[in-house]
Amino acid sequence: MSVTDALPVYHHREHHSILVAATPTAALDAARATLLADVPLVSLLLRIRGLHAAPRGPIWEALQAQGFRVHDPDTLVLIGRPWTRSGELRPEEDFLGFAEPGYAKMAVDLRASAAGDGALLETETRVYLTDAAARRRFGVYWLAVRPFSGLIRKLWLRAAKRRAEMR
């Protein structure tokens, strides 16, 4: 499964990748093990955003502590209203079937595949908005946060690359 399976139709997509001199398994393990402490700017950006205090530990687990739930081993999902201060996160069990107006359905995927002598480590985020009002609100929010969202993912992948290549 992948973010494509979790959210095949979407309004916004962000994709980042990096080549890693390691096996796909080692690259993916390194990404899941990358600590917030490895990329201090990520913790700062989460605090600025007003999310819960950034926990210590791996970024993958920190996302879950922020409210993301495991959809499959490589994909985390979340429903909420990120354009609000609290985010109005909902622990929705029926992620695929959720359609209540006024919300964003978000999926974050982490994957690695063979590329030459190493691996291509990728993260993809997709967002589906459940109605036109949510699309407008998210659009304004996304203009402000997208550069920082991308920066977080790029820093995460770079730190994972360093971790995987040190093995």
Find the mean pLDDT for residues 100-115. Answer: 96
The three-class DSSP label of residue 16 is: strand
Which fold does the domain 3-166 belong to in CATH?
A: Alpha-D-Glucose-1,6-Bisphosphate; Chain A, domain 4 (3.30.530)
Q: Where are the domains of the chain?
A: 3-166
Phi-psi region of 50 (alpha: psi -120 to 50; beta: other; left: phi over 0): left
CA 116 remoteness from chain centre:
26
Q: Are 20 and 164 in contact (CB under 8 A)?
A: yes
- Tell me: pLDDT of 106 over 60: yes
The three-class DSSP label of residue 138 is: helix
The pLDDT, as a whole number, for residue 51 is 53
> Residues 3-62: pLDDT tens digits?
678 898 999 999 999 999 999 999 999 999 999 888 877 777 666 655 555 567 898 998
Give the chain's length.
167
